Amino acid sequence: MKPVIGLSCSTSTDAGVRPVRRYSCPEPYVRRVEEAGGIPILLPTADPSRVPGLLALVHGVLLIGGDDVDPSIYGAAPHRKLGPVDHARDEFEIAIARRAAADALPALGICRGCQVMNVALGGSLIQDIPAEVESPLSHAGRYDAAHDVAVTPGTRLHRLLGRKQVAVNSHHHQSIGSPADGFDVTARTSDGVVEAAELPGHAFFLGVQWHPERMPEADATRRLFRAFLEAAVARARSVGGSARPKAASKPPRAGRRAVRG
């Protein structure tokens, strides 16, 4: 059984007299889903009220990277180093993350996607790592291996990677700040920056800060996408091939932000 995986999209707007809004997804995300046995479909930004119907079409969701999340959503003022934001995309993907968390729909967040998961559940973000983290590593600009991350033993991420340390690439200037209640941090770099988090007890709700889709030959990439697709296959079987769950739950409310630690 090949599960259907919905991929979020980046947004852009053409310049000109009659600008046109465009939606896109970098090819590596699509290829990694296909290689792991899934059927990728794109989910362009829509009204959040459409999310339940859209997720009825899929067995898992992949929240991809992209622009910064609007800090007003998690109650913060914009930092001077904040990059471009798209509030409509933020609201749409946050609705996806909340629904996936509530309905046990497998979800993988990559880079921005990991940050969206945290904000959706009530957490906050570091808006600019160089400005807000003491003696930070270089986290921006490399899609090849840039540094190691330490993985917390006993976590889902540790079990699926099979190791306590893994070399990853790095292309971001934001990260999780205060983790949402229940969204457990499962990996960090030596400077303390959060590199992964997961929702314990969920079928598969996991975010990573690096870009595994850009390291196709890495064992960690294959293991991560394989585990995600296995959870999506289980979802497909549990609903008899239809992506619609037998009984939908109400999306969780955003929890209180935890103290950063």
Running DSSP on this structure, what letter comes out for residue 85? B
Contacts of range 213-219, beta carbons closer than 8 Å, 24 or more positions apart = 213/26, 213/28, 213/29, 213/31, 213/32, 213/110, 214/28, 214/143, 214/169, 214/171, 215/143, 215/144, 215/145, 215/168, 215/169, 216/28, 216/31, 216/32, 216/35, 218/145, 218/167
Q: How far apart (Å, rounded) are the C-alpha atoms in residues 146 and 168?
A: 6
Q: How far apart (Å, rounded) are the C-alpha atoms in residues 165 and 237?
A: 33
The set of catalytic residues is 111, 211, 213
Joined together, the tokens standing for residue 215 give: 């390291």
CA-based nearest residue to 107, from 208, 187, 250: 208
Running DSSP on this structure, what letter comes out for residue 133? S
